[in-house]
Structure 1
Amino acid sequence: MGFEGKAFCLKLCVLCFTFLFWVLGAAIFGFCLWLRLDFWSNEYLSMGSMLKIYYIAIYIAIAVGGLIIVFGVIGCVGAIASRLVPLVLFLVFLVLIFLLEVAGVAYCCVMREDFQNTISEGEIFKAFIKDDYGRTNGKTEVIDYVQWKLQCCGGQGYNDYIDSYWMNKNENHKDQVPLSCCRDYSANKYRSISNVGCSINSQDNNLIHKRGCGNAIVNLVEKHLLPITGIVIAILALQLFGFLFIVLLICYLRKPPPQQPDDVVYEMARTQEKAPYPTRGNTYSNL
Protein backbone atom coordinates (compact mmCIF):
# COMPACT_ATOMS: atom_id res chain seq x y z
CA MET A 1 0.00 0.00 0.00
CA GLY A 2 1.37 3.41 -1.00
CA PHE A 3 1.71 6.54 1.06
CA GLU A 4 -1.66 7.95 0.02
CA GLY A 5 -3.41 4.64 0.75
CA LYS A 6 -1.98 4.41 4.27
CA ALA A 7 -2.84 8.03 4.99
CA PHE A 8 -6.41 7.44 3.77
CA CYS A 9 -6.82 4.37 6.01
CA LEU A 10 -5.53 6.30 9.02
CA LYS A 11 -7.88 9.20 8.26
CA LEU A 12 -10.79 6.78 8.04
CA CYS A 13 -9.87 5.17 11.39
CA VAL A 14 -9.51 8.56 13.06
CA LEU A 15 -12.87 9.69 11.67
CA CYS A 16 -14.61 6.54 12.93
CA PHE A 17 -13.07 6.92 16.38
CA THR A 18 -13.87 10.64 16.50
CA PHE A 19 -17.48 9.98 15.53
CA LEU A 20 -17.90 7.35 18.26
CA PHE A 21 -16.23 9.64 20.77
CA TRP A 22 -18.50 12.51 19.70
CA VAL A 23 -21.59 10.30 20.12
CA LEU A 24 -20.37 9.35 23.61
CA GLY A 25 -19.94 13.02 24.52
CA ALA A 26 -23.39 13.87 23.16
CA ALA A 27 -24.92 11.02 25.18
CA ILE A 28 -23.19 12.18 28.38
CA PHE A 29 -24.23 15.78 27.76
CA GLY A 30 -27.86 14.91 27.00
CA PHE A 31 -28.29 12.42 29.84
CA CYS A 32 -26.76 14.69 32.50
CA LEU A 33 -28.74 17.67 31.24
CA TRP A 34 -31.90 15.55 31.52
CA LEU A 35 -30.92 14.57 35.07
CA ARG A 36 -30.44 18.22 35.96
CA LEU A 37 -33.81 19.27 34.53
CA ASP A 38 -35.78 16.17 35.53
CA PHE A 39 -38.33 16.73 38.31
CA TRP A 40 -37.71 13.42 40.05
CA SER A 41 -33.93 13.88 40.09
CA ASN A 42 -34.20 17.39 41.51
CA GLU A 43 -36.60 16.24 44.19
CA TYR A 44 -34.32 13.35 45.12
CA LEU A 45 -31.16 15.45 45.21
CA SER A 46 -32.88 18.06 47.37
CA MET A 47 -33.73 15.51 50.03
CA GLY A 48 -30.51 15.98 51.97
CA SER A 49 -27.46 18.20 52.08
CA MET A 50 -25.17 15.18 51.58
CA LEU A 51 -26.58 14.72 48.09
CA LYS A 52 -25.67 18.24 47.00
CA ILE A 53 -22.27 16.95 45.87
CA TYR A 54 -24.06 15.09 43.08
CA TYR A 55 -25.15 18.44 41.66
CA ILE A 56 -21.46 19.29 41.26
CA ALA A 57 -20.82 15.92 39.61
CA ILE A 58 -23.69 16.51 37.16
CA TYR A 59 -22.39 19.97 36.22
CA ILE A 60 -18.89 18.56 35.68
CA ALA A 61 -20.29 15.78 33.49
CA ILE A 62 -22.28 18.32 31.44
CA ALA A 63 -19.13 20.41 30.93
CA VAL A 64 -17.09 17.35 29.93
CA GLY A 65 -19.78 16.21 27.50
CA GLY A 66 -19.89 19.66 25.91
CA LEU A 67 -16.09 19.74 25.53
CA ILE A 68 -16.14 16.29 23.93
CA ILE A 69 -18.69 17.54 21.40
CA VAL A 70 -16.58 20.60 20.55
CA PHE A 71 -13.24 18.81 20.34
CA GLY A 72 -14.84 15.94 18.43
CA VAL A 73 -15.72 18.41 15.68
CA ILE A 74 -12.17 19.78 15.79
CA GLY A 75 -10.78 16.26 15.43
CA CYS A 76 -13.02 15.55 12.42
CA VAL A 77 -11.93 18.79 10.73
CA GLY A 78 -8.27 17.98 11.36
CA ALA A 79 -8.61 14.46 9.94
CA ILE A 80 -10.58 15.50 6.86
CA ALA A 81 -8.43 18.54 6.04
CA SER A 82 -5.15 16.83 7.08
CA ARG A 83 -4.27 19.68 9.43
CA LEU A 84 -1.75 19.09 12.19
CA VAL A 85 -2.89 21.80 14.63
CA PRO A 86 -6.49 20.51 15.09
CA LEU A 87 -5.22 16.94 15.39
CA VAL A 88 -2.65 17.89 18.03
CA LEU A 89 -5.31 19.83 20.00
CA PHE A 90 -7.65 16.85 19.82
CA LEU A 91 -4.88 14.50 20.95
CA VAL A 92 -4.00 16.69 23.94
CA PHE A 93 -7.67 16.85 24.91
CA LEU A 94 -7.96 13.05 24.67
CA VAL A 95 -4.96 12.61 26.95
CA LEU A 96 -6.46 14.96 29.56
CA ILE A 97 -9.85 13.22 29.40
CA PHE A 98 -8.16 9.81 29.67
CA LEU A 99 -6.21 10.86 32.76
CA LEU A 100 -9.38 12.32 34.29
CA GLU A 101 -11.25 9.06 33.68
CA VAL A 102 -8.46 6.95 35.17
CA ALA A 103 -8.36 9.21 38.23
CA GLY A 104 -12.15 8.95 38.59
CA VAL A 105 -12.10 5.16 38.32
CA ALA A 106 -9.30 4.93 40.89
CA TYR A 107 -11.17 7.25 43.26
CA CYS A 108 -14.37 5.20 42.94
CA CYS A 109 -12.44 1.98 43.62
CA VAL A 110 -10.80 3.44 46.73
CA MET A 111 -14.03 5.00 48.06
CA ARG A 112 -16.33 2.17 47.01
CA GLU A 113 -16.67 0.69 50.48
CA ASP A 114 -17.34 4.10 52.05
CA PHE A 115 -20.00 4.85 49.44
CA GLN A 116 -21.68 1.52 50.08
CA ASN A 117 -21.64 1.99 53.84
CA THR A 118 -23.02 5.53 53.60
CA ILE A 119 -25.87 4.50 51.30
CA SER A 120 -26.68 1.23 53.05
CA GLU A 121 -27.07 2.99 56.39
CA GLY A 122 -29.97 4.91 54.88
CA GLU A 123 -29.53 7.91 57.16
CA ILE A 124 -30.63 10.35 54.45
CA PHE A 125 -33.84 8.43 53.81
CA LYS A 126 -34.43 7.99 57.54
CA ALA A 127 -34.10 11.71 58.34
CA PHE A 128 -36.32 12.66 55.41
CA ILE A 129 -39.00 10.11 56.32
CA LYS A 130 -39.09 11.23 59.93
CA ASP A 131 -39.48 14.98 59.26
CA ASP A 132 -40.74 15.53 55.70
CA TYR A 133 -42.56 12.50 54.33
CA GLY A 134 -46.20 13.38 53.77
CA ARG A 135 -45.50 17.11 54.14
CA THR A 136 -44.20 17.86 50.63
CA ASN A 137 -46.00 16.04 47.86
CA GLY A 138 -43.08 16.08 45.39
CA LYS A 139 -40.57 14.58 47.81
CA THR A 140 -43.14 12.13 49.10
CA GLU A 141 -43.74 10.86 45.58
CA VAL A 142 -39.99 10.31 45.14
CA ILE A 143 -39.83 8.09 48.22
CA ASP A 144 -42.97 6.23 47.14
CA TYR A 145 -41.45 5.62 43.71
CA VAL A 146 -38.17 4.31 45.18
CA GLN A 147 -39.95 2.06 47.68
CA TRP A 148 -42.27 0.71 45.00
CA LYS A 149 -39.63 0.08 42.33
CA LEU A 150 -36.98 -1.38 44.67
CA GLN A 151 -39.52 -3.16 46.88
CA CYS A 152 -38.13 -1.65 50.05
CA CYS A 153 -39.42 0.37 52.97
CA GLY A 154 -37.70 3.20 54.83
CA GLY A 155 -34.01 3.94 54.93
CA GLN A 156 -32.94 1.09 57.20
CA GLY A 157 -36.34 -0.60 57.45
CA TYR A 158 -40.04 -0.05 57.98
CA ASN A 159 -39.39 0.97 61.61
CA ASP A 160 -38.16 4.33 60.29
CA TYR A 161 -41.81 5.38 60.04
CA ILE A 162 -42.36 5.00 63.79
CA ASP A 163 -42.80 8.47 65.37
CA SER A 164 -42.54 10.06 61.92
CA TYR A 165 -44.50 13.12 60.82
CA TRP A 166 -46.58 10.96 58.48
CA MET A 167 -47.60 8.58 61.32
CA ASN A 168 -48.30 11.27 63.92
CA LYS A 169 -50.29 13.66 61.75
CA ASN A 170 -53.20 11.23 61.34
CA GLU A 171 -54.66 8.79 63.80
CA ASN A 172 -55.38 6.38 60.95
CA HIS A 173 -51.63 6.09 60.34
CA LYS A 174 -50.92 4.76 63.84
CA ASP A 175 -48.68 1.68 63.54
CA GLN A 176 -48.94 1.93 59.77
CA VAL A 177 -46.49 2.30 56.88
CA PRO A 178 -47.33 3.99 53.55
CA LEU A 179 -48.92 2.07 50.70
CA SER A 180 -45.64 2.11 48.76
CA CYS A 181 -44.21 -0.22 51.41
CA CYS A 182 -46.99 -2.73 50.80
CA ARG A 183 -46.62 -5.62 48.42
CA ASP A 184 -49.99 -4.83 46.83
CA TYR A 185 -49.04 -1.21 46.13
CA SER A 186 -49.53 -1.62 42.37
CA ALA A 187 -53.22 -2.19 42.91
CA ASN A 188 -53.60 0.73 45.33
CA LYS A 189 -50.97 3.27 44.21
CA TYR A 190 -53.61 5.80 43.10
CA ARG A 191 -55.01 6.10 46.60
CA SER A 192 -54.24 9.23 48.58
CA ILE A 193 -51.26 9.14 50.95
CA SER A 194 -53.65 10.11 53.75
CA ASN A 195 -55.32 6.70 53.53
CA VAL A 196 -54.31 3.83 55.72
CA GLY A 197 -51.39 1.74 54.47
CA CYS A 198 -50.15 -1.55 55.91
CA SER A 199 -50.01 -2.37 59.60
CA ILE A 200 -46.53 -2.99 60.99
CA ASN A 201 -48.07 -5.13 63.73
CA SER A 202 -49.72 -7.51 61.31
CA GLN A 203 -49.05 -11.16 61.89
CA ASP A 204 -48.76 -11.64 58.14
CA ASN A 205 -45.21 -10.48 57.47
CA ASN A 206 -45.67 -10.79 53.72
CA LEU A 207 -47.73 -7.58 53.57
CA ILE A 208 -44.74 -5.26 54.02
CA HIS A 209 -41.33 -5.06 52.37
CA LYS A 210 -38.84 -5.62 55.14
CA ARG A 211 -35.70 -4.54 53.29
CA GLY A 212 -34.44 -0.98 53.77
CA CYS A 213 -34.02 1.20 50.69
CA GLY A 214 -30.36 1.87 51.50
CA ASN A 215 -29.47 -1.80 51.10
CA ALA A 216 -31.77 -2.04 48.08
CA ILE A 217 -29.86 0.72 46.28
CA VAL A 218 -26.50 -0.88 47.09
CA ASN A 219 -27.73 -4.25 45.83
CA LEU A 220 -29.00 -2.62 42.64
CA VAL A 221 -25.61 -1.04 41.96
CA GLU A 222 -23.75 -4.27 42.72
CA LYS A 223 -26.11 -6.17 40.42
CA HIS A 224 -25.17 -3.91 37.51
CA LEU A 225 -21.53 -3.45 38.53
CA LEU A 226 -20.15 -5.93 35.99
CA PRO A 227 -21.86 -4.33 32.95
CA ILE A 228 -20.82 -0.88 34.17
CA THR A 229 -17.21 -2.04 34.57
CA GLY A 230 -17.27 -3.55 31.09
CA ILE A 231 -18.54 -0.30 29.58
CA VAL A 232 -15.82 1.71 31.34
CA ILE A 233 -13.09 -0.68 30.15
CA ALA A 234 -14.47 -0.57 26.59
CA ILE A 235 -14.41 3.25 26.61
CA LEU A 236 -10.81 3.33 27.87
CA ALA A 237 -9.72 0.75 25.28
CA LEU A 238 -11.44 2.75 22.53
CA GLN A 239 -9.53 5.84 23.59
CA LEU A 240 -6.21 3.98 23.54
CA PHE A 241 -6.86 2.86 19.96
CA GLY A 242 -7.81 6.45 19.14
CA PHE A 243 -4.49 7.67 20.55
CA LEU A 244 -2.64 5.21 18.35
CA PHE A 245 -4.47 6.16 15.15
CA ILE A 246 -4.13 9.90 15.75
CA VAL A 247 -0.39 9.67 16.55
CA LEU A 248 0.24 7.59 13.42
CA LEU A 249 -1.73 10.04 11.29
CA ILE A 250 0.23 12.98 12.70
CA CYS A 251 3.50 11.18 11.94
CA TYR A 252 2.40 10.46 8.38
CA LEU A 253 1.33 14.04 7.80
CA ARG A 254 4.67 15.35 9.09
CA LYS A 255 6.66 12.97 6.90
CA PRO A 256 7.09 14.10 3.26
CA PRO A 257 5.69 11.66 0.71
CA PRO A 258 8.28 9.46 -1.07
CA GLN A 259 9.37 10.56 -4.50
CA GLN A 260 7.80 8.74 -7.43
CA PRO A 261 9.77 7.77 -10.58
CA ASP A 262 8.13 10.58 -12.51
CA ASP A 263 9.22 13.03 -9.83
CA VAL A 264 12.82 11.82 -10.12
CA VAL A 265 12.83 12.27 -13.89
CA TYR A 266 11.31 15.73 -13.54
CA GLU A 267 13.93 16.71 -10.94
CA MET A 268 16.78 15.50 -13.22
CA ALA A 269 15.39 17.47 -16.17
CA ARG A 270 14.99 20.59 -14.04
CA THR A 271 18.55 20.31 -12.78
CA GLN A 272 19.90 19.76 -16.29
CA GLU A 273 18.14 22.89 -17.53
CA LYS A 274 19.88 24.98 -14.90
CA ALA A 275 23.40 23.57 -15.67
CA PRO A 276 25.51 25.12 -18.52
CA TYR A 277 26.02 23.00 -21.62
CA PRO A 278 29.43 21.24 -21.61
CA THR A 279 32.15 22.49 -23.98
CA ARG A 280 32.75 20.11 -26.86
CA GLY A 281 35.65 22.00 -28.47
CA ASN A 282 36.14 23.25 -32.10
CA THR A 283 35.12 20.81 -34.75
CA TYR A 284 37.89 21.96 -37.07
CA SER A 285 40.65 22.22 -34.48
CA ASN A 286 42.28 18.96 -35.49
CA LEU A 287 42.27 19.66 -39.24
Structure 2
Amino acid sequence: MGAGYTCMKFLFIVLNIIFLLFSLAGIGAAIWMFVDPSIPLHFTQEANDYLVSVIIILLASIILFIVSILGIYSVSKEAKKALVASFCLLLIIVVAEVAAGVWGYTNRDSLELHIKTSIRRTVREDYYRDDSMKRSFDVIQSKMHCCGAEGPIDWTKEKELSMSISADAVRYRIPASCCRPEYENKEDCIKATNLAFGSKLNMTVIYDKGCYSLIMSELTENICVIMIIGGVILAVQVLGLILALILACSMNRSHRYKA
Protein backbone atom coordinates (compact mmCIF):
# COMPACT_ATOMS: atom_id res chain seq x y z
CA MET A 1 0.00 0.00 0.00
CA GLY A 2 2.88 2.38 0.81
CA ALA A 3 4.31 2.59 -2.72
CA GLY A 4 0.91 2.78 -4.38
CA TYR A 5 -0.29 5.42 -1.91
CA THR A 6 2.84 7.50 -2.56
CA CYS A 7 2.35 7.25 -6.33
CA MET A 8 -1.26 8.38 -6.03
CA LYS A 9 -0.23 11.32 -3.86
CA PHE A 10 2.39 12.32 -6.41
CA LEU A 11 -0.11 12.00 -9.30
CA PHE A 12 -2.69 14.01 -7.34
CA ILE A 13 -0.16 16.80 -6.77
CA VAL A 14 0.66 16.80 -10.49
CA LEU A 15 -3.05 17.04 -11.35
CA ASN A 16 -3.49 19.94 -8.95
CA ILE A 17 -0.54 21.73 -10.51
CA ILE A 18 -2.36 21.29 -13.84
CA PHE A 19 -5.52 22.69 -12.20
CA LEU A 20 -3.47 25.64 -11.01
CA LEU A 21 -2.32 26.32 -14.58
CA PHE A 22 -5.90 25.92 -15.87
CA SER A 23 -7.16 28.37 -13.26
CA LEU A 24 -4.56 31.00 -14.12
CA ALA A 25 -5.38 30.57 -17.82
CA GLY A 26 -9.09 30.94 -17.03
CA ILE A 27 -8.52 34.11 -15.00
CA GLY A 28 -6.44 35.54 -17.82
CA ALA A 29 -9.08 34.60 -20.41
CA ALA A 30 -11.86 36.20 -18.34
CA ILE A 31 -9.89 39.44 -18.00
CA TRP A 32 -9.14 39.37 -21.73
CA MET A 33 -12.81 38.83 -22.58
CA PHE A 34 -13.75 41.74 -20.30
CA VAL A 35 -11.27 44.30 -21.69
CA ASP A 36 -11.01 43.32 -25.38
CA PRO A 37 -13.99 44.67 -27.36
CA SER A 38 -12.98 42.86 -30.55
CA ILE A 39 -13.82 39.34 -29.32
CA PRO A 40 -16.65 37.96 -31.52
CA LEU A 41 -18.14 36.16 -28.51
CA HIS A 42 -19.74 39.51 -27.63
CA PHE A 43 -22.42 38.71 -30.21
CA THR A 44 -23.28 35.24 -28.91
CA GLN A 45 -25.24 36.73 -26.00
CA GLU A 46 -26.89 39.93 -24.86
CA ALA A 47 -24.50 42.48 -23.33
CA ASN A 48 -25.59 41.81 -19.74
CA ASP A 49 -25.58 38.03 -20.27
CA TYR A 50 -22.09 38.24 -21.75
CA LEU A 51 -20.86 40.13 -18.69
CA VAL A 52 -22.45 37.52 -16.42
CA SER A 53 -20.74 34.75 -18.42
CA VAL A 54 -17.36 36.44 -18.03
CA ILE A 55 -17.93 36.79 -14.28
CA ILE A 56 -18.91 33.10 -14.03
CA ILE A 57 -15.73 32.07 -15.87
CA LEU A 58 -13.69 34.27 -13.54
CA LEU A 59 -15.36 32.83 -10.41
CA ALA A 60 -14.98 29.25 -11.67
CA SER A 61 -11.29 29.88 -12.35
CA ILE A 62 -10.80 31.34 -8.87
CA ILE A 63 -12.55 28.33 -7.33
CA LEU A 64 -10.33 25.99 -9.37
CA PHE A 65 -7.32 27.93 -8.09
CA ILE A 66 -8.51 27.32 -4.52
CA VAL A 67 -9.09 23.64 -5.36
CA SER A 68 -5.50 23.26 -6.57
CA ILE A 69 -4.06 24.90 -3.45
CA LEU A 70 -6.23 22.78 -1.14
CA GLY A 71 -5.39 19.63 -3.09
CA ILE A 72 -1.63 20.17 -2.87
CA TYR A 73 -1.84 21.09 0.81
CA SER A 74 -4.10 18.15 1.69
CA VAL A 75 -1.77 15.43 0.43
CA SER A 76 1.43 17.09 1.54
CA LYS A 77 0.12 17.56 5.10
CA GLU A 78 -2.21 14.51 5.18
CA ALA A 79 -5.11 16.90 5.85
CA LYS A 80 -8.30 15.00 5.11
CA LYS A 81 -10.62 17.97 5.71
CA ALA A 82 -8.74 20.01 3.10
CA LEU A 83 -8.97 17.06 0.70
CA VAL A 84 -12.75 16.78 1.22
CA ALA A 85 -13.15 20.53 0.67
CA SER A 86 -11.08 20.28 -2.51
CA PHE A 87 -13.23 17.36 -3.72
CA CYS A 88 -16.51 19.20 -3.06
CA LEU A 89 -15.41 22.39 -4.83
CA LEU A 90 -14.09 20.41 -7.80
CA LEU A 91 -17.35 18.46 -8.00
CA ILE A 92 -19.30 21.74 -8.18
CA ILE A 93 -17.09 22.92 -11.06
CA VAL A 94 -17.50 19.62 -12.96
CA VAL A 95 -21.29 19.67 -12.57
CA ALA A 96 -21.42 23.30 -13.75
CA GLU A 97 -19.24 22.51 -16.77
CA VAL A 98 -21.36 19.51 -17.76
CA ALA A 99 -24.55 21.59 -17.39
CA ALA A 100 -23.05 24.39 -19.52
CA GLY A 101 -22.00 21.87 -22.17
CA VAL A 102 -25.46 20.27 -22.30
CA TRP A 103 -27.10 23.70 -22.52
CA GLY A 104 -24.77 24.75 -25.33
CA TYR A 105 -25.42 21.53 -27.27
CA THR A 106 -29.21 21.74 -26.96
CA ASN A 107 -29.24 25.42 -28.00
CA ARG A 108 -26.68 25.16 -30.80
CA ASP A 109 -29.31 25.62 -33.54
CA SER A 110 -30.48 28.96 -32.18
CA LEU A 111 -26.96 30.32 -31.66
CA GLU A 112 -26.36 31.20 -35.33
CA LEU A 113 -29.67 33.05 -35.58
CA HIS A 114 -28.94 34.93 -32.36
CA ILE A 115 -25.52 36.02 -33.64
CA LYS A 116 -26.98 37.24 -36.94
CA THR A 117 -29.75 39.13 -35.13
CA SER A 118 -27.29 40.64 -32.67
CA ILE A 119 -24.92 41.90 -35.38
CA ARG A 120 -27.78 43.32 -37.42
CA ARG A 121 -29.14 45.12 -34.37
CA THR A 122 -25.69 46.55 -33.70
CA VAL A 123 -25.51 48.00 -37.21
CA ARG A 124 -29.09 49.25 -37.24
CA GLU A 125 -29.47 50.61 -33.72
CA ASP A 126 -26.79 50.09 -31.09
CA TYR A 127 -23.94 51.59 -33.14
CA TYR A 128 -25.61 55.00 -33.04
CA ARG A 129 -26.96 54.88 -29.50
CA ASP A 130 -24.22 53.19 -27.50
CA ASP A 131 -20.71 54.67 -27.59
CA SER A 132 -19.12 51.56 -26.10
CA MET A 133 -20.79 49.35 -28.72
CA LYS A 134 -19.69 51.80 -31.43
CA ARG A 135 -16.08 51.54 -30.30
CA SER A 136 -16.32 47.75 -30.04
CA PHE A 137 -17.79 47.30 -33.52
CA ASP A 138 -15.25 49.72 -35.02
CA VAL A 139 -12.47 47.57 -33.55
CA ILE A 140 -14.10 44.40 -34.94
CA GLN A 141 -14.46 45.89 -38.42
CA SER A 142 -10.84 47.09 -38.41
CA LYS A 143 -9.35 43.86 -37.05
CA MET A 144 -11.50 41.41 -39.00
CA HIS A 145 -11.44 43.47 -42.21
CA CYS A 146 -15.21 43.52 -42.58
CA CYS A 147 -17.97 46.09 -42.96
CA GLY A 148 -21.58 45.95 -41.76
CA ALA A 149 -23.51 42.81 -40.83
CA GLU A 150 -23.65 41.15 -44.24
CA GLY A 151 -21.83 43.81 -46.25
CA PRO A 152 -21.19 47.58 -46.46
CA ILE A 153 -24.61 48.08 -48.07
CA ASP A 154 -26.12 47.51 -44.59
CA TRP A 155 -25.04 51.02 -43.59
CA THR A 156 -27.21 52.50 -46.35
CA LYS A 157 -30.46 50.76 -45.44
CA GLU A 158 -31.39 51.86 -41.95
CA LYS A 159 -33.35 54.83 -40.70
CA GLU A 160 -31.11 55.33 -37.69
CA LEU A 161 -28.21 56.42 -39.90
CA SER A 162 -26.47 59.73 -39.38
CA MET A 163 -27.88 61.62 -42.37
CA SER A 164 -27.78 65.20 -43.57
CA ILE A 165 -30.23 66.55 -46.12
CA SER A 166 -28.99 69.03 -48.69
CA ALA A 167 -30.92 70.77 -51.41
CA ASP A 168 -30.69 67.94 -53.86
CA ALA A 169 -29.54 64.78 -52.12
CA VAL A 170 -29.70 62.64 -49.03
CA ARG A 171 -26.30 61.44 -47.87
CA TYR A 172 -25.26 58.59 -45.63
CA ARG A 173 -22.06 57.74 -43.79
CA ILE A 174 -20.23 54.44 -43.59
CA PRO A 175 -17.96 54.14 -40.52
CA ALA A 176 -14.33 54.98 -41.21
CA SER A 177 -13.42 51.62 -39.63
CA CYS A 178 -14.68 50.04 -42.87
CA CYS A 179 -11.74 51.55 -44.78
CA ARG A 180 -8.81 49.34 -45.65
CA PRO A 181 -5.60 50.14 -43.68
CA GLU A 182 -3.84 51.81 -46.61
CA TYR A 183 -6.73 54.28 -47.02
CA GLU A 184 -7.60 54.88 -43.37
CA ASN A 185 -7.82 58.58 -42.40
CA LYS A 186 -7.08 59.64 -45.98
CA GLU A 187 -9.17 61.62 -48.45
CA ASP A 188 -10.13 58.48 -50.36
CA CYS A 189 -11.60 57.03 -47.16
CA ILE A 190 -13.61 60.20 -46.50
CA LYS A 191 -15.05 60.14 -50.01
CA ALA A 192 -15.85 56.42 -49.89
CA THR A 193 -17.67 56.66 -46.54
CA ASN A 194 -19.65 59.87 -47.16
CA LEU A 195 -21.90 59.27 -50.15
CA ALA A 196 -25.24 60.24 -51.63
CA PHE A 197 -27.89 57.53 -51.76
CA GLY A 198 -27.63 55.59 -54.98
CA SER A 199 -23.89 56.16 -55.32
CA LYS A 200 -21.74 53.16 -56.09
CA LEU A 201 -19.71 51.81 -53.19
CA ASN A 202 -15.94 51.94 -53.70
CA MET A 203 -14.88 48.41 -52.78
CA THR A 204 -11.26 49.28 -53.43
CA VAL A 205 -11.28 51.53 -50.37
CA ILE A 206 -13.78 49.81 -48.06
CA TYR A 207 -14.09 46.17 -47.08
CA ASP A 208 -16.53 44.20 -49.20
CA LYS A 209 -17.28 41.34 -46.75
CA GLY A 210 -19.81 41.48 -43.92
CA CYS A 211 -18.78 40.80 -40.33
CA TYR A 212 -21.42 38.13 -39.73
CA SER A 213 -19.94 35.57 -42.13
CA LEU A 214 -16.40 36.18 -40.86
CA ILE A 215 -17.44 35.91 -37.22
CA MET A 216 -19.32 32.66 -37.89
CA SER A 217 -16.36 31.31 -39.84
CA GLU A 218 -13.98 32.10 -36.98
CA LEU A 219 -16.30 30.54 -34.40
CA THR A 220 -16.77 27.42 -36.56
CA GLU A 221 -13.02 27.02 -37.04
CA ASN A 222 -12.38 27.31 -33.31
CA ILE A 223 -15.32 25.29 -31.98
CA CYS A 224 -13.55 21.94 -32.45
CA VAL A 225 -10.47 23.24 -30.62
CA ILE A 226 -12.68 24.56 -27.81
CA MET A 227 -14.50 21.21 -27.52
CA ILE A 228 -11.23 19.24 -27.42
CA ILE A 229 -9.74 21.53 -24.78
CA GLY A 230 -12.96 21.39 -22.76
CA GLY A 231 -13.04 17.59 -22.98
CA VAL A 232 -9.43 17.28 -21.83
CA ILE A 233 -10.04 19.64 -18.90
CA LEU A 234 -13.17 17.74 -17.89
CA ALA A 235 -11.37 14.38 -18.11
CA VAL A 236 -8.51 15.64 -15.94
CA GLN A 237 -10.99 17.01 -13.40
CA VAL A 238 -12.90 13.71 -13.23
CA LEU A 239 -9.59 11.90 -12.70
CA GLY A 240 -8.88 14.36 -9.90
CA LEU A 241 -12.23 13.52 -8.28
CA ILE A 242 -11.51 9.78 -8.45
CA LEU A 243 -8.03 10.20 -6.97
CA ALA A 244 -9.39 12.46 -4.21
CA LEU A 245 -11.87 9.74 -3.18
CA ILE A 246 -9.19 7.04 -3.20
CA LEU A 247 -6.77 9.21 -1.22
CA ALA A 248 -9.47 10.10 1.33
CA CYS A 249 -10.12 6.40 1.97
CA SER A 250 -6.39 5.66 2.06
CA MET A 251 -5.81 8.43 4.60
CA ASN A 252 -8.27 6.74 6.95
CA ARG A 253 -6.35 3.49 6.69
CA SER A 254 -2.96 5.11 7.13
CA HIS A 255 -4.19 6.99 10.20
CA ARG A 256 -5.50 3.73 11.70
CA TYR A 257 -2.17 2.03 11.05
CA LYS A 258 -0.32 4.90 12.74
CA ALA A 259 -2.62 4.65 15.74
**Range of TM-score over shorter length:** 0.7 to 0.9
Q: Deviations over 1:86-127 (max 9, x none)?
A: 11221122222111111111111111111111112xx33333
Q: 1:139 to 1:203 in 2, by over 3 A?
A: closer
1:162-201 matches, within 5 Å, as: 162=156, 163=158, 167-169=162-164, 174=171, 177-182=174-179, 185-191=180-186, 195-197=190-192, 201=199
Q: How far has the Cα of 1:142 moved from its partner?
A: 2.3
1:245 aligns with 2:243: yes
Q: Deviations over 1:53-72 (max 9, x none)?
A: 11111111222112112222
Q: Alignment partner of 1:224: what SS?
A: helix
Separation in 1, partners of 2:65, 2:20: 5
2:55 to 48, 55, 59: 59
Kept in 2: contact 1:178–1:197 (CA 8 A): no
Q: Look up the match of 2:120.
A: 126
Q: How far has the Cα of 1:223 moved from its partner?
A: 0.9
Q: How far has the Cα of 1:17 moved from its partner?
A: 0.5
1:197-212 matches, within 5 Å, as: 197=192, 201-202=199-200, 208-212=206-210
Separation in 2, partners of 1:228, 1:170: 49
Q: 1:196 to 1:135 in 2, by over 3 A?
A: farther
Separation in 1, partners of 2:206, 2:186: 17
Q: Look up the match of 1:30.
A: 28
1:229 aligns with 2:227: yes
1:7-86 matches, within 5 Å, as: 7-36=5-34, 38=35, 40=37, 50-86=46-82
Q: How far has the Cα of 1:169 moved from its partner?
A: 4.2
1:146 aligns with 2:140: yes
Identity %: 19
2:101 to 102, 105, 111: 105
Q: Alignment partner of 1:153: what SS?
A: coil
Q: How far has the Cα of 1:258 moved from its partner?
A: 10
Amino acid of the structure 1 residue aligned with 2:239: F
Q: How far has the Cα of 1:135 moved from its partner?
A: 7.3
Q: Look up the match of 1:160.
A: 154
Q: How far has the Cα of 1:132 moved from its partner?
A: 5.5
Q: How far has the Cα of 1:248 moved from its partner?
A: 2.2
Amino acid of the structure 1 residue aligned with 2:231: I
Which structure is larger by alpha-carbon Rg, 1 or 2? 1
Q: 1:29 to 1:173 in 2, by over 3 A?
A: farther
Root-mean-square deviation (Å):
3.4
Separation in 2, partners of 1:216, 1:119: 12
Kept in 2: contact 1:72–1:90 (CA 8 A): yes
Amino acid of the structure 1 residue aligned with 2:140: V
Segments of 5+ residues of structure 1 without an aligned counterpart are 260-287
Segments of 5+ residues of structure 2 without an aligned counterpart are none
Amino acid of the structure 2 residue aligned with 1:9: C
Q: How far has the Cα of 1:202 moved from its partner?
A: 3.3
Q: 1:137 to 1:248 in 2, by over 3 A?
A: closer
User: Bigger shift: 244-253 or 201-210?
Assistant: 201-210
Amino acid of the structure 1 residue aligned with 2:19: F
Separation in 1, partners of 2:47, 2:129: 20
Q: Alignment partner of 1:174: what SS?
A: strand
- TM-score, normalisation: structure 1: 0.73
Q: Alignment partner of 2:190: what SS?
A: coil
